[in-house]
Amino acid sequence: MIIQLKKPLLTALVLAGAMQGASVAQTAVKPKPLVTDLFTADPSAHVFNGRIYIYPSHDIEANVPQDDEGGHFNMRDYHVYSMDKVGGPVIDHGVALDLKDIPWAGRQLWAPDAAYRNGTYFLYFPVKDKDDVFRIGVATSKSPTGPFKPQPKPIPGSYSIDPAVFTDQDGHSYMYFGGIWGGQLQRWHTGKYDAGLKTDLGKGHENEPALTAKVARMKDDMLTFDETPKNVEILDENGKPLLAKDNDRRFFEGAWMHRFGDKYYFSYSTGDTHFLAYAVGSSPYGPFTYKGIIMKPVSGWTTHHSIVEFQGKWYIFYHDVELSGKTHLRNIKVRMLTRGKDGSIQTIDPQ
């Protein structure tokens, strides 16, 4: 099915691009949802063979009450979308992977990502196993649009949510992952699973370094980790790790990595403070120094993004709840990303 983009999206992108000199990239006309017949969220965008492919979550109304663990995000499949240009028609390629086809899965297919190597496309997905523990799975296809065939088991040593796979110029690929609260990252802080930790580490830990995302280099098969996942260190301006109480800046979920020149940009959601933030380093492993906010809060509780270069311009894909007004029924959008001459990312105010 083809969804025609409305003209205002184009206008907004043009305006955002023209605001190079401003510190906050404002758009006079707001971007429209890219997809209007399904609810979509957590868009991971990639360029394969000169075309933009989007791998989002597919939100549904499952009538599960809202809670701090995200039980209301009870998704069951993924669709893949593509566009030949930003502002062009968005094509829905149908169901790419269904929960019922993943042998080890229990419930909640959350934010996916995709990668390509040696003629195979890989779809990475977090889902709770039959014990209600989030693991990360991988499925393969010869086409970027699937259908994807899942591996019989989760990636060994994987846990938590929101995989984002980045391939560097030297061909090495890395998975960034993790999310606190419903994403269960806090349950693994000792290395062993502790189901008692519902949100974060809780009282008494506020002045400790914040929990943070994990990174692991992928083996060449792209199906397994090549190492034990390491912490993604995010430092403040004094070179000290961000603290757990620093809710405006610390990592919560929704990691993404992109490279601009010789710098690595680690970006993420701050969760309960609803910012998309970024930190810059000189290696895919970091450490990364906190630099600022990419996007102020969108409508809805969650915020989640990806950043991609296409035909010499940079774009941010993200979601809000314009169509439904409900936190768990989101819609994906795209805007142009603008940078200062020093590579800094200009803050977008989406409201």
Binding site for ligand FUB (CB under 6 A): 41-42, 57, 70, 73, 110-111, 161-162, 179, 253-254, 302, 304
Strands 214-217 and 173-177: antiparallel
CB of 41 to ligand FUB, least distance (A): 5
Least distance CB 57 / ligand FUB (angstroms):
4
- Amino acid (one-letter) located at 105: A
| Beta strands 288-295 and 234-235, pairing class | parallel
Report the amino acid identity of residue 13.
Answer: L
Q: How far apart are CA 252 and CA 67, in angstroms?
A: 16
By beta-carbon proximity to ligand FUB, the closer residue of 141 and 270 is 270
Cα–Cα distance measured from residue 251 to residue 160, given in angstroms and rounded to the nearest whole number:
14
Q: Report the distance separating Cα 120 and Cα 222, nearest Å.
A: 10
What distance in Å separates the CA atoms of residue 247 and residue 347, rounded to the nearest whole number?
Answer: 18
- Whole-angstrom distance, CA of residue 80 vs CA of residue 272: 28
Minimum CB–partner distance for residue 215 and ligand FUB (Å): 17
Nearer to ligand FUB, 41 or 211 (CB): 41
Closest to ligand FUB by CB, 57 or 186: 57
Whether 253 is a known active-site residue: answer yes
Active site residue 170: no
Cα separation of 250 and 268, whole Å? 9
Q: Which of 59, 162, 253, 320 is catalytic?
A: 253
CB of 107 to ligand FUB, least distance (A): 12
- Residue 250 contacts residue 231 (beta carbons within 8 Å): no
CB 125 within 8 A of CB 52: no
Closer CB to ligand FUB, residue 246 or residue 253?
253
* Nearer of residues 31 and 183 to ligand FUB, judged by Cβ: 183
Q: How far is the CB of 170 from ligand FUB (least distance, A)?
A: 28
Active-site hit among 42, 59, 92, 113: 42
Q: Which positions are catalytic?
A: 42, 253
